[in-house]
Structure formats: C-alpha cells, structure tokens
C-alpha cells in the first residue's frame, strides 16, 4: 500500500519522498513531510481555492489551468470566469459544481482562484 500522498498542487499520485520532502515529478511541486501531517489534522471542512481563500456558494472563480473534460474532446480554457458556483459534496475531490456554456461540471477547487 502506498502511504505517500498525492500532490496537493496537481493531485497526481506519482509523488515520491526525497529526504524530508515529498516531490511531484509531474508539476515539480515540493512540500515538507511535516506539512502533510499538519494538513491532515487541519480538515476544517472549508473549501479553499488555489491561494487558500475560502469559497462560498455564489462566488465567481477563474480557472488557473486548461482542464480536459473526461470522456470528451472539450477543454475548459485557463482564464475562463465561472459565475455563481455551488459547493458540492466533494465526491472524488471535486468540491465545486458550476454551469458553463459547455455544460455543467464538477471541478476541484485547487484549479480555481476566487475572482
């Protein structure tokens, strides 16, 4: 069983331990192992964007990277503003429910920043 957590930046699971740090080879993000244990105990139930700002129902957010829609050729472009979000139940880490001109989507808050 793999006890190394997924990357908090890009959520990929290819992370590895390097000394006192975890490293993600996909995005290059590094974080202290001690930070991971602090984050695990700090589950306050608040959904936060990529900058740590709390999100609420009705907020507007901006995508911080291009997102491919699973099972489709559609791509949600970086910089797209999404208005009037709803916070979901967080299934598979997808905490934000939103409607765009391409349809309705469940997004991960780490790919959003508050507008």
Residue 112's pLDDT is 93
What kind and span of H or E run contains 35?
helix 33-41
Cβ neighbourhood burial of 111 (10 Å; 0-12, 13-18, 19+)? buried
pLDDT tens by residue, the chain, 115 residues? 457 788 887 878 888 888 888 888 888 888 887 655 545 444 567 888 888 889 999 999 999 999 999 888 999 999 999 999 999 776 677 889 999 988 999 999 889 999 8
Contact call for residues 30 and 21 (beta carbons, < 8 A): yes
Residue 66's pLDDT is 93
**CATH code for the domain defined by 1-43:** 2.20.25.10
Residue 6's pLDDT is 82
Residue 1's pLDDT is 41
Residue 45's pLDDT is 74
Residue 90's pLDDT is 66
Residue 35's pLDDT is 59
Q: 61-114: which CATH topology?
A: SH3 type barrels. (2.30.30)
Q: Give residue limits of the domains in the chain.
A: 1-43, 61-114
């Amino acid at each position: 069983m793999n006890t190394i957590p997924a990357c908090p930046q890009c959520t990929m699971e290819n992370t590895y331990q390097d000394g006192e740090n975890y490293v993600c080879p996909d995005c290059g993000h590094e974080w202290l192992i001690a930070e991971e244990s602090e984050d695990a105990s700090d589950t306050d139930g608040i959904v936060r964007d990529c900058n740590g700002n709390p999100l609420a129902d009705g907020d507007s957010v901006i995508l911080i990277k291009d997102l491919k829609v699973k099972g489709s050729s559609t791509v949600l472009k970086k910089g797209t503003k999404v208005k009037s979000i709803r916070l979901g139940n967080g299934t598979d880490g997808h905490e934000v429910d939103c409607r765009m001109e391409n349809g309705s989507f469940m997004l991960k808050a780490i790919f959003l920043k508050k507008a």
